[in-house]
Amino acid sequence: MSVTRTVTLSDVAERAGVSATTASYILNGRSVEMRISADTETRVRAAVAELGYRPNRSARSLRTATTSTIGVISDFVASGHFASQMLTGASAAARADAHLLVIGETEGDPGVEALLIEELLERQVDGIVYATLVTAEVTVPPALGRRRTVLLNCVDPSTVLPAVLPDELGGGRTAAGALVRAGLRSGLHVVGEDPTPNALAGVLRLQGIRARLGEEGLGIDGVVPCPWTVAGAYAAVDAWLADGARPQGLICLNDRIAMGVYQALAEHGLEVPRDVSVVSFDGSELATWLRPEVTSVTLPYADLGAEAVRVLMDPGWATTGVVRLPMPISAGASVRPRPAEVPAS
């Protein structure tokens, strides 16, 4: 049985007619610094291609104290489109900085999380992104508090670790602003409640909604509690309307709730936006399929992932603090302008 010999840096140097030191300088991007001619660099890179040389990353990491890898610890990798978008953004930013992601999913199991962290630290990754699917307060494992770590879509109030999150408070203000600009002054309700322990999205969105309406001397007339699901929203709003409720504007805390709301309104003879204006959150693909398309405050998942990696790779990462990315609104056709109310004479 023949054994294929690994191509070495010395083989590349011999083929190019240069010293191994010169070849090393070129492959480590130091041609200009060492005043190596363009012709020499061309010969070395041609030899690399001809011989199929692959640099020894382990040896390189010993010399530079870097491994060109970033670890991602999360609870959500296999959980759907939003998670995929966040990781896509993180991966693109990592590649732009000549790094690759090493991803581990915990499924919320502390034991698995501990093993994954230990594995990534043994691999000597250049940094770790600790991410959650749900925007939430978390307690970061102690091992990460001593390492280059950035929190993604979560925050730990007990640490000074940098964190990148969506601006949920601002998103709530934006959602309420869409109804205010349409001239709605009464009959405004929020649909949904946040059932996840330590979750921040629902709480902050509601705070933002109240704050924006308060600036206009308005308030919400009530909250229709329900899970963040199509079926849960439908059941809650169906029962609410059956009791005689007739809202003018509804702010749904996510697009799945909006879908259930649409169904319940239709079954009670109410049309969006003729009878009821609706605003939602997420900016998901589901929002574009609703008819009429729902106006939805967008979660910038890809931007969140990319920003977390950029912060992680920044030399001043430790002093970054909490970064909150804006949540823009995607205008659909679910909000109808109302004529200004004329005071009674």
Which residue do the tokens 């993180």 mark? 90
Beta strand 295-298 with 329-330 is antiparallel
Contact 138, 155 (CB under 8 A): yes
Cα separation, 335 vs 338, in Å, equals 9
Poorest-pLDDT segment among 63-67, 84-88, 172-176, 251-255? 63-67
User: 27 vs 282, which has greater pLDDT?
Assistant: 282
CA 87 to CA 131: how far, in whole Å? 10
Q: CB count, 10 Å around CB of 269?
A: 8
Neighbours of 333 (CB within 10 A): 13
The mean pLDDT value for 221-248 works out to 96
Query: Rounded to two decimals, what is the model's pTM?
Result: 0.78
The percent of residues above 90 in pLDDT, for the chain, comes to 62
pLDDT tier, 10 (very low <50, low <70, confident <90, very high otherwise)? confident
- 144 near 177, Cβ under 8 Å? no
pLDDT of residue 193: 84
Residue 84 has a pLDDT of 83
Question: What are residue 155's DSSP bridge partners?
Answer: 137
Kindly state the average pLDDT of the residues 78-86. Answer: 75
Coil, helix or strand at residue 310? helix
**What was the pLDDT predicted at 194?**
65
Domain 168-299 sits in CATH at 3.40.50.2300
Residue 72: its pLDDT value, please?
94
Strand order in the sheet with 222-224: 222-224, 188-191, 249-252, 277-282, 295-298, 329-330
pLDDT score of 231: 96
What CATH number is given for 9-55 in this structure?
Answer: 1.10.260.40
Mean pLDDT confidence for 282-293:
90
Domain spans of the chain, in order of start: 9-55, 67-165+301-325, 168-299
Q: What is the pLDDT of residues 237-273, one digit of tens each?
A: 999 999 999 999 999 999 999 999 999 999 999 999 9
Task: Please give the full DSSP string across 139-161, using - where no structure is assigned.
Answer: ---HHHHTS-EEEEEEE-TTS--
pLDDT-derived band at 344, boundaries 50, 70, 90 = very low
Residue with tokens 């870097």: 66
Half-sphere exposure of 22 (CA within 13 A, CB side): 20
Q: How far apart are CA 180 and CA 154, in angstroms?
A: 30
pLDDT of res. 98: 87
Domains 9-55 and 168-299 share a fold: no
For range 312-321, the mean pLDDT: 91
CATH classification of 67-165+301-325 is 1.10.260.40, yes or no? no
pLDDT of residue 7: 78
